[in-house]
């Protein structure tokens, strides 16, 4: 297969440099380019400054085949991307009548008055491909010269993303001499360093397909990518690697579908086994319930969510014994167990998950430090409690707790059913 084409991303806008907006476009485009098999070695952010933008484009042209620019196509004076890109290619601008007509239509449809500076958006470089923008007034632009491709897109994500998907992606696909196919194996309940160690030999031997590991909060994703002359051949290359990864990670693999999240995998498991679920949370304050309720169709299985933050609420709503609280404290294995059992009793749910912990920044002690969390899971009367130690700030600790709770729920349901099947269920 031929060498990968190299792409460089240039995000234009002083507001990105100042931190006024987060550069989500670059994250989106890099992921899409990786999926297309384009190699991205540099990403640039440059302000609305003619000299620096020109310099950035020239440098990028010296080391990349494709330039993807987003931003700076607006009607105001500091929107310079098109003018500077045309200058870099030595091309003049002319009034593109179709763009002028669609800008006029855009304003008339919304009952807005057109100011003269809007016609700047209808000025196009000579010999370019004009890309339609149904969601705004700035058309996209594609310029080709000496094997280089410069693609200009509007900055607002609600304009850039649809344009990229409808017009730019098919254009880029045609530039590639081969087809790229990727599949992701999503793993929970295994840490990043352990997961990498488990596949290090495969990574060392790789050429085509390749394996890349990505750490997500409480999860690890392994992306397998193959290049071939057509999709069928690429899929064929990926298949044995996926099988090998499933063999190595076993039940820790919760999906090989990009669209499936951990919470969806848990809800699918509940639906498949006709199990109802309730959550009872302290330090996560309803985040586990929120993740589960993100999933369409969860109403079939989700019964209730309790936030028992105070000891009084734990006792009143769940029937936690005062003596257990006094003896072991609210953050303990015993309380997590009683919370899971108490929630099962009051909600009459088949599965309950309980959380009690210290999210910080204060409230920790030497014996019970910040980041100590107990997660309980009750499946049909059988309770498991897991002790976790998380680091980071309050938000990080809570996010990690939620992922671990979802992972534990999945693990406990699978374990329960495997033991029911083999006739050694122990309640």
Per-residue pLDDT of the chain (427 residues; tens, 9 = 90+): 446 799 999 999 999 999 999 999 999 999 899 888 899 999 999 999 999 999 999 999 999 999 999 999 999 889 999 999 999 999 999 999 999 898 888 888 889 888 888 899 999 999 999 999 999 999 999 999 999 999 999 999 999 999 999 999 999 989 987 888 899 999 999 999 999 999 999 999 888 999 989 999 999 999 999 989 888 999 999 999 999 999 999 999 999 999 999 999 999 999 999 999 999 999 999 999 999 999 999 999 999 999 999 999 999 999 999 999 999 999 999 999 999 999 999 999 999 999 999 999 999 999 999 999 999 999 999 999 999 999 999 999 999 999 999 999 999 999 999 887 655 544 4
Using alpha carbons, select from 317, 316, 184 the residue that is nearest to residue 255.
184
Contact present, 124 and 141 (Cβ < 8 Å): yes
pLDDT on residue 139: 95
C-alpha span between 318 and 312 (Å, rounded): 10
Contact present, 391 and 361 (Cβ < 8 Å): no
Q: Which residue has the tokens 């009034």?
A: 95
Burial of 62 (C-beta count, 10 Å sphere; 0-12/13-18/19+): exposed
Beta bridge partners of residue 42, listed in sequence order: 8
E-only strand ranges, 132-245: 140-145, 148-153, 179-188, 210-216, 219-228
End-to-end CA distance of the chain: 57
pLDDT on residue 112: 87
pLDDT on residue 422: 58
C-alpha span between 345 and 329 (Å, rounded): 22
Contact present, 246 and 253 (Cβ < 8 Å): yes
Using alpha carbons, select from 325, 299, 303 the residue that is nearest to residue 312.
325
């Amino acid at each position: 297969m031929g060498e990968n084409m190299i792409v460089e991303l240039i995000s234009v806008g002083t507001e990105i440099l100042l931190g006024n907006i987060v550069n989500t476009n670059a994250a989106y485009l890099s992921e899409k380019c990786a999926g297309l098999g384009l190699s991205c070695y540099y990403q640039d952010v440059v302000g609305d400054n003619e000299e620096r933008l020109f310099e950035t484009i020239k440098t990028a042209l010296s080391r990349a085949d494709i330039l993807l620019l987003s931003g700076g196509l607006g009607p105001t004076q500091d929107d310079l991307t098109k003018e500077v890109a045309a200058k870099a290619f030595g091309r003049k601008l002319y009034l593109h009548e179709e763009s002028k007509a669609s800008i006029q239509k855009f304003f008339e449809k919304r009952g807005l008055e057109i100011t003269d500076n809007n016609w700047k958006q209808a000025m196009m470089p000579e010999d370019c491909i004009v890309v339609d923008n149904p969601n705004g007034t700035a058309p996209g632009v594609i310029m080709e010269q000496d094997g280089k491709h410069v693609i200009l897109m509007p900055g607002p994500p609600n304009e850039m993303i649809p344009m990229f998907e409808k017009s730019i992606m098919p254009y880029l696909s045609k530039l590639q001499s081969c087809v790229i196919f990727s599949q992701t194996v999503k793993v929970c309940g295994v840490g990043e360093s352990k997961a990498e160690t488990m596949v290090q030999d495969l990574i060392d031997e790789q050429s085509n397909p390749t394996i890349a590991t990505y750490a997500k909060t409480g999860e690890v994703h392994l992306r397998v990518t193959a290049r071939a002359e057509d999709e069928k051949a690429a899929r064929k290359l990926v298949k044995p690697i996926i099988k090998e990864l499933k063999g190595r990670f076993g039940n820790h693999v919760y999906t090989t579908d990009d669209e499936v999240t951990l919470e969806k995998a848990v809800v699918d498991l509940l639906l498949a086994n006709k199990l109802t679920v309730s959550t009872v949370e302290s330090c996560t304050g309803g985040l586990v319930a929120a993740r589960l309720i993100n999933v369409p169709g969860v109403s079939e299985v989700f019964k209730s969510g309790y936030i028992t933050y105070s000891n009084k609420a734990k006792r009143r709503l769940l029937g936690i014994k005062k003596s257990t609280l006094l003896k072991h404290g609210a953050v303990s294995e015993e309380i997590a167990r009683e919370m899971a059992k108490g929630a099962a009793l009051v909600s009459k749910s088949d599965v309950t998950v309980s959380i009690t912990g210290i999210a910080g920044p204060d409230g920790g002690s030497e014996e019970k430090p910040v980041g100590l969390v107990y997660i309980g899971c009750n499946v049909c009367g059988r309770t498991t409690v897991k002790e976790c130690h998380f680091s980071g700030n309050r938000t990080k600790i809570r996010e990690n707790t939620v992922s671990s709770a979802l992972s534990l729920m999945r693990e406990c349901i699978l374990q329960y059913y495997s033991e029911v099947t083999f006739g050694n269920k122990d309640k």
